[in-house]
Copies of this chain bind each other. A is one copy, B any other.
Amino acid sequence: MSFPSDLEIARNASLKPLDDIASQMNLPAHLLEPYGRDLMKIDLAAIDELSDRPKAKYVVVSAITPTPLGEGKTTTTVGLGQGFKHIGKNATVAIRQPSMGPTFGIKGGAAGGGYSQVVPMELLNLHLTGDMHAVTAAHNLLAAVIDNHIYQGNELNLDLNNITWRRVLDVNDRALRNIVVGLGGKGDGVPRQTGFDITAASEVMAALALTTSLEDLRERMGRIVVGYNEDGEPVTAEQLHAAGSMAVLLREAVKPNLLQTLENTPVLVHAGPFGNIATGNSSVVADRIGVRCGDYLITEAGFGADMGAERFFNIKCRTSGLRPDAAVVVATVRALKAHSGKYKIVAGKPLPPELLAENPDDVFEGAANLRKQIENIRIHGVSPVVAINAFPDDHPSEHEAIHQIAKEMGARSAVCTNFAEGGKGAAELAQAVAEAAEEPTDFRLLYPDEASLQEKIETVATKVYGADDVHFSLHALQQLDTYEKAGFGNLPVCIAKTHLSISSDPKLKGAPTGWTLPVREVRASVGAGFVYPICGDMRTMPGLGTNPAAFRVDLDDDGAITGLS
């Protein structure tokens, strides 16, 4: 008998009424807004109303540098949330909303896996409560206002070759990456080149993830820079009179969504910003609520600890004021073996068979990556815990190797079998996290607001990525100068680079040294609240493959969804 599919497991879950889940969290009914049968939104008034309650231990889940297959970070996050129940504690999980484009692309859906899933997975992976669509609508309203402004006479003197605001759609559609708009007749707008990104890449999404209130979100919308005028000065959404309408479109989207795991652990799902050009973390408001709702709040950060966790510390926590108590670093045997540099793992293809043979030496050879990512947690003053996400082909000697590496680094570690076994498979990890979170913390940001943008980039590059140096192109230096002069110098930085290496070269495995980070250009998400240097090719609109999930997803005779994973 084969292991059931995620969708089969999810379909057989016994969901509790969300009212009961909210009761577990001590959330009063007047803060809850049901959306359909198995979804709820939570009113932001919860932040103030619950602020007197004791703060939960705040735990971020990160990872070693993943292979293109991913290392089961969401599965571990969900499993850990479930695991706390097995050691007699209440936990809440906070994750990003999955992007719908990839649901119909290669992935088919994402919500953890096996017996550690968020349910209902079909709602989570499709529209949920419409937040993504609201982001799309707000983003594209601003785009329409920009092109209308140009068409009506361009009073603000926008430089048509320097409009940085594109459009967005939550679909994998490569044909929209580069387009020319405004064709047709005289009444059909002014022709110019632009394009669409996927909604997860929208600055509106990044702002939604970092905002602290609806009022704050309104101000962030106003600060969005859409491009520059002929004098090189930034032009904002406020100047275009679009920010009020954008905030109105986001009035419901700003409320976090409540779902549950297969074992009825509460899950806050909110915002879904990209992990390379944006923070890759779920929302500040969800965490601010969740941290008042139990013993532990487990929040997930995108990609490896150099990426999502660094942004979690230096951007998200800087904004929220919340201090983390522990950080989980998810590691797998297969990824550590890959970090030895001996194996090539390609998405959509079977693993190389030799990778599956028992070989703890290869795990040790790839250990540099795990060590460096543990250090990347430590330099922020947070206690790391290594979660060994077990796969069926792993060998005990290989798990032992990871335990040993963690121990040498002074970090706790635990094997997780929660994919196959649910929460009880993560009870040991929950215990390790509980112990780590009891240690005295000394949380620190890596750089102060006052440092220059260049200093901030250099700090992250050398301290977190292990680069020797940073090389700024002339263009990048000019842009940094422009941003400093425009008053954006106090923002944190979000370095857009590959997630497949701690360096900026996806081919370099382990913990690369002796390299220089190349910054070819720098962009500013002023509304979201960060500056992002571009260090590599950042794809912001995926395409569909030859056999996308869109071909398989369908309704069965009972109207239930099939093919979602």
Q: How far is the CA of A147 from the CA of B141 in the complex (A)?
A: 25
- Please give, as numbers and ranges, the residues of chain B lying within 8 Å of A37 by CB-CB distance: 33
Contact of B193 with A171 in the complex, beta carbons under 8 Å: no
Contact of B553 with A244 in the complex, beta carbons under 8 Å: yes
- Please give, as numbers and ranges, the residues of chain B lying within 8 Å of A169 by CB-CB distance: 140, 169
Shortest CB distance A29–B (Å): 12
A34 is an interface residue with CB less than 8 A from chain B: yes
A14 is an interface residue with CB less than 8 A from chain B: no
Contact of A148 with B543 in the complex, beta carbons under 8 Å: yes
Q: How far is the CA of A169 from the CA of B242 in the complex (A)?
A: 17
- Please give, as numbers and ranges, the residues of chain B lying within 8 Å of A1 by CB-CB distance: none
Contact of B173 with A245 in the complex, beta carbons under 8 Å: no
Contact of A252 with B127 in the complex, beta carbons under 8 Å: yes
Q: How far is the CA of A27 from the CA of B59 in the complex (A)?
A: 46
Shortest CB distance A222–B (Å): 10
Contact of A151 with B134 in the complex, beta carbons under 8 Å: no
A369 is an interface residue with CB less than 8 A from chain B: no
Q: Quick one: given A100-B137, A245-B104, A553-B245, are A151 and B127 in contact (CB under 8 Å)?
A: no
Cβ-defined partner of A173 (8 Å) among B127, B144, B193: B144
A189 is an interface residue with CB less than 8 A from chain B: yes
The chain B residue with its CB closest to the CB of A187 is B174
How many copies, total? 2
Of residues 206 to 261 in A, which have CB atoms within 8 Å of B's CB atoms? 214-215, 218, 241-242, 244-245, 247-249, 251-252
Contact of B173 with A143 in the complex, beta carbons under 8 Å: yes
Q: How far is the CA of A386 from the CA of B392 in the complex (A)?
A: 75
Cβ-defined partner of A548 (8 Å) among B148, B214, B555, B559: B148
- Among the 9-residue stretches A175-183, A303-311, A433-441, the one with 4 or more Cβ atoms under 8 Å from chain B is A175-183
Contact of B33 with A41 in the complex, beta carbons under 8 Å: no
Q: How far is the CA of A133 from the CA of B132 in the complex (A)?
A: 10
Contact of A248 with B555 in the complex, beta carbons under 8 Å: yes
Shortest CB distance A498–B (Å): 17
| Size category, A interface | 35 or more
A170 is an interface residue with CB less than 8 A from chain B: yes
- Please give, as numbers and ranges, the residues of chain B lying within 8 Å of A543 by CB-CB distance: 148, 151, 187, 189
Shortest CB distance A459–B (Å): 34
Q: Quick one: given A137-B133, A544-B145, are A178 and B184 in contact (CB under 8 Å)?
A: yes
The chain B residue with its CB closest to the CB of A242 is B550
A551 is an interface residue with CB less than 8 A from chain B: yes
Contact of B171 with A175 in the complex, beta carbons under 8 Å: no
- Please give, as numbers and ranges, the residues of chain B lying within 8 Å of A130 by CB-CB distance: 127, 129-130, 133
Interface string of A161-202 (1 = CB under 8 A from B): 000000001111111111111111001111001010000000
The chain B residue with its CB closest to the CB of A544 is B148
Q: How far is the CA of A400 from the CA of B553 in the complex (A)?
A: 61
Shortest CB distance A493–B (Å): 28
- Please give, as numbers and ranges, the residues of chain B lying within 8 Å of A188 by CB-CB distance: 174-175, 177-178
Q: Quick one: given A175-B151, A188-B175, A544-B144, are A553 and B127 in contact (CB under 8 Å)?
A: no
A126 is an interface residue with CB less than 8 A from chain B: yes
Shortest CB distance A132–B (Å): 9
Leading 8 A-B pairs by shortest Cβ distance: A244-B554, A178-B184, A175-B189, A133-B133, A147-B175, A144-B173, A178-B183, A130-B130
Can you list 17 contacts pairing A with B, beta carbon distance less than 8 Å?
A127-B249, A143-B173, A144-B172, A178-B183, A178-B188, A179-B182, A180-B183, A184-B195, A189-B543, A214-B559, A218-B554, A241-B550, A241-B551, A242-B551, A244-B563, A245-B554, A251-B561
